[in-house]
Structure 1
Amino acid sequence: MRKTMKIGGVAAIAGAVVAAAVVTGGPATGQQDPHSGGALNDAFASAAAEFDVPRDLVVAVGYGESHLDGHDGKPSQDNGFGVMHLVSNPARHTLEQAAELTELPAAALRSETAANVRGGAAVLRALADEQGLDGAARDRLGAWYPVVAAYGGARDDRVARMYADTVYDLLASGVTAKPGGERVVVASQAVEPELGRFANVRALDDVSGDVHAQDYPNAIWTPASPANYSAGRSQAITTVVIHVTEGSYAGTISWFQNPDAQVSAHYVVRSADGEITHMVADGDTAWHARSGNPYSIGIEHEGFIDDPSWFTDAMYRSSAALTSWLCDTYGIPKDRTGIVGHSEVPGNDHTDPGPNWNWDYYIQLVNGG
């Protein structure tokens, strides 16, 4: 079992890319689309081969984190970077870990896609070694489930399980993405996740054991850290503020549970299916919009403002149903006076939800259209 995987820095990438010409993926992968080629496909293939991680698993983790978009090296909400979302914040240091494992500079891991993919694969392999996966186990896609759960970095086991479930759902359904015009494919495949200790962890959307649900009845109650919001309200609720997470659903939930974050929102909406997690009670003051905090409800939507692929119809409809309920409950106008973007709240420097958010459609849905 390898304990250290420092492999050669930038020169190793060149050698690994050559290997990608003959190695189409790591062990136990699905069939790769024969028409897929290009720099990103080469990066996934070479990183998978170098670190003995299934190629399809690396792609699925990256797709769940970023839709395979590096966002020009700009950080996510919790200071994660690139296709593989390598994180550097007070609680997580996968960026620094990747730099140590690959001997690549942090700047390259943040901004260069091939380096970032290689760093993500290196972290996955290091976690596999910590979990005791030997060569035979690494050949089974299902055996990587606890590793994937750990890669998400959640403190809450239920959130960690949700993160891993999302990746395995992607493996089951398949992935087809065209970041930058390059086609990247993971064929759908039947994989039985080996849950390990997570077999005894209740799924996040299983509310059967919850003591109570807060406010909106169609949301999952997963509270943020008390260090990230203020108890009570100093003003009446008059406004709904629309945000975009600049990160993944699971990552945002995990970040709001981290007491170092000093940020939160009342609700988080998932892109794929519109699932809603409620994290701060409506009667408490989430820290999401600076001057707007005392009088507003904040709704975060999974995704990145520069990538419209995250704004699915399921997300729009689920969020609009929530906003309609909030407006009815608190007497908020169902128009652009009562429903605003983060960028429109006075004293804020954020740009979300950005130009790809369809305001006309959203307001129509809020009003029952």
Structure 2
Amino acid sequence: MDPFNRRNALRAVAAGAAGIAVAAPGAAQASGAGRQQAFAAAAEEFGVPEPVLLGVSYLKSRWDYNAGTPSTGAGYGPMHLTDLRTAAAGGSHHDKGTEDPRGDAARPALRPKAPRAAAPVPAMQTVDLASELTGVNAAALRTDPAQNIRGGAAVLAQYQRELGVTSSNPADWYGAVAKYSGATDSTAAATFADEVFGVITGGMSRVTDDGQSVRLDAVPVTPARTQVRSLGLPAAAQGAVEAPPGVSAEWIPAPYQEIDGGYGNYDKAERPKSQRITHIVIHDTECSYDEALALVQDPTYLGWHYTLRSADGHIAQHIQTKDVGWHAGNWYVNAKSIGVEHEGFGAKGTWYTEAMYRSSAKLVRYLAGKYGIPLDRQHILGHDNVPGTTPSTVAGMHWDPGPYWDWSHYFDLLGAPFVAWPRQQTGLVTIKPGFAANHPAFTGCDSPGAVCPVRGSSAVILRTEPRDDAPLLADIGLHPDGSPSTMGVADVGSRVSTGQQYAVAEVRGDWTAIWFLGQKGWFSSVHAQPALGRVVTPKPGLATIPVYGRAYPEAEAYPAGITPQDVVPLQYTLSAGQRYVAGPVLDSEYYSATTFDPASHVVVRGQTKYVQIQFGHRVAYVKLDDVTLGR
């Protein structure tokens, strides 16, 4: 058949002008058929090599449907057709709640403002182009996976026509694939295309989130990479960027400058000479990539180290990793970590593209290798794992990247998969639900109290008894009145996450209880696997020990002129008989950096040592002198 199907294209344009959704021949069969057949039918209809169509879709969505909901980059369906009008909503997560991103009581709290909404970019409205080319309305293209695949194929074919290349050889579709990325510079576009052709060359198969078996057989191909020049895109600004080979990255600096009443929007340091970098914190922006860039370049705002774009995984670096960003809401964690933001819309879309997962994993693996950071959930934290600093700040801490971040897949990409310890009974477990089939009934994704769309999740819910209808655990930090936690998507008070490790408190039949915030939390045993590690218990003779949100030095360690920071326990306690999985043993440190002149900055080190523990959904710290550390 004619690869560009002129008759159908004219029919589609006429129907689109009339506002009528018209399916092209073969579309009805594809809608009712399996995902694999839908790809084959769309590839034939629009003259796109099937491996190219499958490869592009995999880099966008891993062929998933995601219940017809938008990605964190405003993309829908297996082909990630973008529609910013329906998906882009909400402000940055930094302007929500009461969290002070610096988390440093030695200076006034920083209260970020909401971003100004960015106007939709025509190039990022691929659903409109797909509708024009197919005659299918935007709503169907967003929600019907077969029509979505047709729409993506039509867009790819249009990009190929614009290049003036007629070929059925996948190698000759490099330029069209690069343009489909949505990238605004040639480096990002080429990096996306390289990832797609890597999938095509290596092959891939998986079962999608809605149970569809899809396979891409390996096709050895050497793509025509010079085609990217025909797109007329500028090169990215490299600058002082710290990133690994094989990613698209540019330097977009955050300002370090004095402003009325202070300075913005990070602190100068000399890490790791001044102090070790021990953690990487994973965030999502909850605003668009462009809005996030505008915010991080505002000297009255705050700063983090990297932002990743959803559509293609492009990386922007804003702060050198030697310097301390204001991102995690806990100054101890900020001073010891690197903050990595991922484009996302918390209010509307909560699935992340494969392109961004892959780029992020490459970046984090590079940073972990550079600074000797172990690749585990004790060192690679979500923002939702960072503890409040004092009792008053616990409730305001943020919860991104949220329960829909696929930690298992992410650690697979990091090259550090969560592997079960071969012995059956170790007394410890690693949380590991099957992501695609795990559907906690969260509420509040779109509006307060509303049920969230059904989708895969890394989260496992804890109960007070070994039964599905038992109440959730209480978290006095989030609910001071002692009421149970809720299924609100932001309520982490009775929730564990993939890759986190806990000590087993009891087993009854098919249920396991773990120690969690001083309580036994029950969940189905199918969501965990045996683990090996160290645990802490209170030293003999201690009925309870305090738990802290930061590992600060004792008062005697502070030099003259620097006010000692209070070592204030959180509202929780760790009681005798309870066990918690131990993370790293940490030196007590406080980075005194309250003035614009870095010459006055001082790292205060104490004699007290702390142990990081997995205490609840968030980590916490206990003094080494208060615990017995063992297996």
TM-score (structure 2 length as normaliser): 0.41
Asked if the contact 1:62–1:85 (Cα under 8 Å) also holds between the matched residues in 2, the reply is: yes
AA partner of residue 319 (structure 1): V
Asked if the contact 1:79–1:87 (Cα under 8 Å) also holds between the matched residues in 2, the reply is: yes
Which range moved further: 149-158 or 182-191? 182-191
Asked if the contact 1:17–1:43 (Cα under 8 Å) also holds between the matched residues in 2, the reply is: no
AA partner of residue 190 (structure 1): P
Whether 1:242 and 2:260 are equivalent positions in the alignment is no
| Structure 1 residues 307-346: aligned runs within 5 Å | 319=364, 322=367, 340-344=381-385, 346=396
Q: 1:154 aligns with which of 159, 183, 207?
A: 183
Q: Which residue does 2:23 correspond to in 1?
A: 12
Equivalents in 1 of 2:252, 2:222: separation in Å?
Answer: 33
Compared CA separation, residues 5 and 299, structure 1 to 2 (3 A): farther
Equivalents in 2 of 1:198, 1:309: separation in Å?
Answer: 21
Whether 1:114 and 2:146 are equivalent positions in the alignment is yes
Whether 1:191 and 2:221 are equivalent positions in the alignment is yes
Q: Which structure 2 residue ranges, 5 or more long, are not aligned?
A: 85-119, 232-236, 257-263, 270-276, 297-303, 387-395, 406-457, 460-496, 502-530, 535-582, 586-631
Whether 1:60 and 2:73 are equivalent positions in the alignment is no
Equivalents in 2 of 1:316, 1:359: separation in Å?
Answer: 18
Compared CA separation, residues 310 and 14, structure 1 to 2 (3 A): same
Q: Which residue does 2:136 correspond to in 1?
A: 104
Output one character per residue of 1:165-197: Cα deviation in whole Å (capped at 9) or x when no partner. Answer: 111111111121211332211111111211234
Which range moved further: 79-88 or 158-167? 79-88
Q: 1:143 aligns with which of 164, 172, 177?
A: 172
Equivalents in 2 of 1:302, 1:308: separation in Å?
Answer: 10
Compared CA separation, residues 69 and 219, structure 1 to 2 (3 A): closer
CA shift, 1:277, in A, is 5.3
Could you say which structure has the higher strand fraction?
Answer: 2
Equivalents in 2 of 1:310, 1:86: separation in Å?
Answer: 14
Could you say which structure has the higher helix fraction?
Answer: 1
SS at match of 1:299: strand
Q: Which residue does 1:49 correspond to in 2?
A: 44
Whether 1:223 and 2:250 are equivalent positions in the alignment is yes
AA partner of residue 281 (structure 2): V
Q: Which residue does 2:212 correspond to in 1?
A: 182
Output one character per residue of 1:294-324: Cα deviation in whole Å (capped at 9) or x when no partner. Answer: 8773225799977999999998797367358
Equivalents in 1 of 2:342, 2:175: separation in Å?
Answer: 27
Equivalents in 2 of 1:261, 1:314: separation in Å?
Answer: 18
Equivalents in 2 of 1:310, 1:210: separation in Å?
Answer: 20
Asked if the contact 1:38–1:182 (Cα under 8 Å) also holds between the matched residues in 2, the reply is: no
Q: Which structure 1 residue ranges, 5 or more long, are not aligned?
A: 22-36, 202-208, 247-251, 329-333
Q: Which residue does 2:195 correspond to in 1?
A: 166
Equivalents in 2 of 1:133, 1:142: separation in Å?
Answer: 11
Q: Which residue does 2:317 correspond to in 1?
A: 279
AA partner of residue 281 (structure 1): I
Whether 1:72 and 2:72 are equivalent positions in the alignment is no
Equivalents in 1 of 2:352, 2:266: separation in Å?
Answer: 36
CA shift, 1:108, in A, is 1.7
Equivalents in 1 of 2:283, 2:352: separation in Å?
Answer: 14
SS at match of 2:176: helix
AA partner of residue 35 (structure 2): L
Asked if the contact 2:72–2:352 (Cα under 8 Å) also holds between the matched residues in 1, the reply is: no
User: What is the root-mean-square deviation in Å for CA atoms of aligned residues?
Assistant: 5.0
Q: Which residue does 1:94 correspond to in 2?
A: 126
AA partner of residue 93 (structure 1): Q
Asked if the contact 1:171–1:186 (Cα under 8 Å) also holds between the matched residues in 2, the reply is: yes
Compared CA separation, residues 316 and 367, structure 1 to 2 (3 A): farther
Equivalents in 1 of 2:295, 2:71: separation in Å?
Answer: 13
CA shift, 1:155, in A, is 1.1
Equivalents in 2 of 1:298, 1:305: separation in Å?
Answer: 20
Compared CA separation, residues 64 and 309, structure 1 to 2 (3 A): closer
Equivalents in 1 of 2:154, 2:584: separation in Å?
Answer: 48
Compared CA separation, residues 175 and 157, structure 1 to 2 (3 A): same
Compared CA separation, residues 176 and 289, structure 1 to 2 (3 A): same
Task: Say how many residue pairs are matched.
Answer: 319
SS at match of 1:177: strand
AA partner of residue 115 (structure 1): Q
CA shift, 1:153, in A, is 1.1
Compared CA separation, residues 17 and 52, structure 1 to 2 (3 A): farther
CA shift, 1:358, in A, is 1.4
SS at match of 1:143: helix
SS at match of 1:298: strand
CA shift, 1:150, in A, is 0.5
CA shift, 1:130, in A, is 0.8
Compared CA separation, residues 60 and 269, structure 1 to 2 (3 A): same
CA shift, 1:86, in A, is 1.0
Asked if the contact 1:174–1:189 (Cα under 8 Å) also holds between the matched residues in 2, the reply is: yes
SS at match of 2:26: helix
Question: Which of 1 and 2 has greater Rg?
Answer: 2
SS at match of 2:73: coil
CA shift, 1:65, in A, is 0.7
Equivalents in 1 of 2:125, 2:56: separation in Å?
Answer: 17
Asked if the contact 2:38–2:149 (Cα under 8 Å) also holds between the matched residues in 1, the reply is: yes
SS at match of 2:23: helix
Asked if the contact 1:269–1:319 (Cα under 8 Å) also holds between the matched residues in 2, the reply is: no
Asked if the contact 1:6–1:101 (Cα under 8 Å) also holds between the matched residues in 2, the reply is: no
Compared CA separation, residues 88 and 291, structure 1 to 2 (3 A): farther
SS at match of 1:181: coil
Compared CA separation, residues 74 and 262, structure 1 to 2 (3 A): farther
Compared CA separation, residues 349 and 335, structure 1 to 2 (3 A): closer
CA shift, 1:77, in A, is 2.3
Asked if the contact 1:41–1:184 (Cα under 8 Å) also holds between the matched residues in 2, the reply is: yes
Compared CA separation, residues 199 and 266, structure 1 to 2 (3 A): same
Whether 1:126 and 2:155 are equivalent positions in the alignment is no
CA shift, 1:348, in A, is 3.7
SS at match of 1:223: strand
* Percent identity for Structure 1 against Structure 2: 29
SS at match of 1:76: coil
